[in-house]
Structure 1
Amino acid sequence: MSVHAADIDLAMKLADAAGAAIRPYFRREMGLEIKADRSPVTLADREAEAAMRRILDAERSGDGIHGEEYGVKEGVTGRQWVLDPIDGTRSFTVGRPIFGTLIALVDQGWPVLGIIDQPITRERWVGVMGRPTLFNGAPARTRLCPQLEGATIATTSPHLFDDDDVPHFMALVTAISGNSPRQGPVYGGDCYNYGLLASGHVDIVCESGLKLHDFAALVPVVEGAGGRMCDWNGDPLTADSAGHVLAIGDPARTEEILEALRNVPHDHDHDHDHDH
């Protein structure tokens, strides 16, 4: 499952192409539609993914493609390019530059290369299995988090959690905020939060309901910066994961975070198992 220089160059080329497709629509007429699952989609999402697929069809025709907008193309190499042209379409539609293009190379189900690209601010995190994560070409590092209380936690929106997951998330927030509930989570941000965590500005990101195209690229970025990505049971994230995602800047806090997620008052805990 090695990643070659040509893979990294290709991923950068995909990010450049997506950014070129997205920028003309930012804070302008974007052809907003609402999909069947009630999520927004714009011309920028569709054109960015189409641009990336054209490059992959030309240069890596044997590899599979898994894209948010145009679905799955089966490959023959055991490798799959996982594309989310705009992760954070809602932020994009209201003119907030905290969305990102996500590009991952997944080998036999394992994410081995990931890019988080913010095309408006031109910020790019590049993670490759076994190598240090780079932010705009310079090494990115997560920060130490000496104790759970007072840590900075981010999530895109509490409305994205299943009802079963909310008490677990709130139990973690309570463990972090201690007696100062005003220091609540940072909301909004989608994939941008994981880049900020990789660069040492956020300690924890906790989300559920994510799909492969939402999290595959994040894994090499966070782990190459010294952090840890896992599900709510502490297991590594693969193509088979259910979508409960934790990013932890300081891996020393992992057990406390997992314990806090489990520490739900019993009236809430009706035999909930995260592996549904």
Structure 2
Amino acid sequence: MTHDADDLALALEVADALDDLTTSRFGALDLVVTAKPDATPVSDADTAAEELARRLIGAARPGDALLGEELGGDVARTGRQWVIDPIDGTKNFVRGVPVWASLVGLVEDGEPVVGVVSAPALGRRWYAAVGAGAWSVSRLPGSDPEPRRLAVSGVADLADALIAYASLEGWRELGRYQAFLDLLAAAWRTRGYGDFWSYMLLAEGAVDVAAEPELALHDMVALVPIVREAGGRFTSVDGVEGPWGGNALATNGRLHDAVMASLSDA
């Protein structure tokens, strides 16, 4: 089943507007950064970007629910809900590291059906809709402007796999620190790309496994259709399908069961 192209078009339009706003504030000398109750940073760009996304989506889809990192909302497992992370990678954003992106996703009756990940400082964008494939486009000078269809790798042996992760400490808090270290040791190569980028590299076939021990819904919804439409699998560490398990394990599919078994707390 192919998802309505109008929803993907809207998500791409929202991403265009967010790119303009976030790039105008990236590296700004007057950027205002405060701490949220969980001690993570939030900038004035995060809040302004989510407000903009809500206005655009609200005007185009007034009957749809909205959930965002900064302004909240109730999780809806029925009906239609747009899920927004205005700047995924805020810590990078406020430090001047170009690895950050705006995430725009749509969930219908509990299934992520549209996802857009736009990383303007990297000159890259990834997007997908159910049944329409996963695609990336480069906006770097001199690059091919035509979208490129994505496909995960064919690596089938963990000893040949490249594993991407964000950090190590969260695995300790999850009680799987040693299991994760053992997984990394068993792989061919490991790199801490972090955040959205690990999953987009997975969808491109450049990375074979991406995992994070603690994530919120807004971190994951936009990623799921892109990974799945590229031929990969996206679950929690314990195998809960999609973005509903509080953490993420994404693979090319061939490695999924082996990785999940190695991370089991049994």
Structure-2 change in CA distance of 1:235 and 1:74 (3 Å): closer
Is the partner of 2:73 in helix, strand or coil?
A: strand
Q: Residue 80 of structure 2 corresponds to which residue in structure 1?
A: 79
Q: How many angstroms apart in 2 are the aligned matches of 1:74 and 1:94?
A: 31
Q: Residue 143 of structure 2 corresponds to which residue in structure 1?
A: none
Q: How does 1:216-227 map to 2 (within 5 A)?
A: 216-227=221-232
Residue 176, structure 1, aligned to residue 187, structure 2: yes
Residue 121, structure 1, aligned to residue 148, structure 2: no
Is the partner of 2:261 in helix, strand or coil?
A: helix
Q: How many angstroms apart in 1 are the aligned matches of 2:75 and 2:214?
A: 24
Residue 245, structure 1, aligned to residue 255, structure 2: no
The answer to whether the Cα contact below 8 Å between 1:143 and 1:203 also exists between their aligned partners in 2 is yes
Q: Residue 113 of structure 2 corresponds to which residue in structure 1?
A: 112
Q: How many angstroms apart in 2 are the aligned matches of 1:246 and 1:62?
A: 32
How far the C-alpha of 1:159 sits from its partner, in A, is: 2.6
The answer to whether the Cα contact below 8 Å between 1:209 and 1:242 also exists between their aligned partners in 2 is no
RMSD: 2.0
Q: How many angstroms apart in 2 are the aligned matches of 1:68 and 1:191?
A: 15
Is the partner of 2:158 in helix, strand or coil?
A: coil
Per-residue CA deviation, residues 144-184 of structure 1 (Å, 9 max, x unaligned), is 1131013111111113332513233223213325xxxxx4x
Aligned residues: 255
Q: Residue 5 of structure 1 corresponds to which residue in structure 2?
A: 5
Residue identity over aligned pairs, in percent, reads 35
How far the C-alpha of 1:196 sits from its partner, in A, is: 1.2
Q: How many angstroms apart in 2 are the aligned matches of 1:176 and 1:31?
A: 41
The answer to whether the Cα contact below 8 Å between 1:80 and 1:105 also exists between their aligned partners in 2 is yes
Structure-2 change in CA distance of 1:258 and 1:163 (3 Å): closer
Q: How many angstroms apart in 2 are the aligned matches of 1:257 and 1:203?
A: 11
Q: How does 1:22-37 map to 2 (within 5 A)?
A: 22-29=22-29, 30-37=31-38
Q: Residue 255 of structure 1 corresponds to which residue in structure 2?
A: 257
Q: Residue 156 of structure 2 corresponds to which residue in structure 1?
A: 146
Q: What amino acid does structure 2 have at the position aligned with 1:248?
A: T
Q: Which residue, 239, 257, 261 being the options, matches 1:234?
A: 239
Gaps of 5+ in 1: 178-182, 263-271
Q: What amino acid does structure 1 have at the position aligned with 2:248?
A: V
Runs of 4+ in 1 over 6 A off after TM superposition: none
The answer to whether the Cα contact below 8 Å between 1:149 and 1:175 also exists between their aligned partners in 2 is yes
Q: How many angstroms apart in 2 are the aligned matches of 1:126 and 1:70?
A: 24
Q: What amino acid does structure 2 have at the position aligned with 1:193?
A: S
Is the partner of 1:164 in helix, strand or coil?
A: coil
Q: Residue 205 of structure 1 corresponds to which residue in structure 2?
A: 210
The answer to whether the Cα contact below 8 Å between 1:157 and 1:188 also exists between their aligned partners in 2 is no
The answer to whether the Cα contact below 8 Å between 2:100 and 2:121 also exists between their aligned partners in 1 is no
How far the C-alpha of 1:73 sits from its partner, in A, is: 6.3
Using the size of structure 2 for normalisation, the TM-score is 0.89
Q: What amino acid does structure 2 have at the position aligned with 1:187?
A: G
The answer to whether the Cα contact below 8 Å between 1:116 and 1:192 also exists between their aligned partners in 2 is no
Q: What amino acid does structure 2 have at the position aligned with 1:32?
A: V
How far the C-alpha of 1:245 sits from its partner, in A, is: 0.8
Q: Which residue, 154, 162, 178 being the options, matches 1:167?
A: 178
The answer to whether the Cα contact below 8 Å between 2:2 and 2:131 also exists between their aligned partners in 1 is no
The answer to whether the Cα contact below 8 Å between 2:105 and 2:222 also exists between their aligned partners in 1 is yes
The answer to whether the Cα contact below 8 Å between 2:176 and 2:263 also exists between their aligned partners in 1 is no
The answer to whether the Cα contact below 8 Å between 1:83 and 1:102 also exists between their aligned partners in 2 is yes
Larger CA deviation: 60-69 vs 24-33: 24-33
Q: Residue 144 of structure 2 corresponds to which residue in structure 1?
A: none
Gaps of 5+ in 2: 138-146
How far the C-alpha of 1:243 sits from its partner, in A, is: 1.4
Larger CA deviation: 152-161 vs 165-174: 165-174
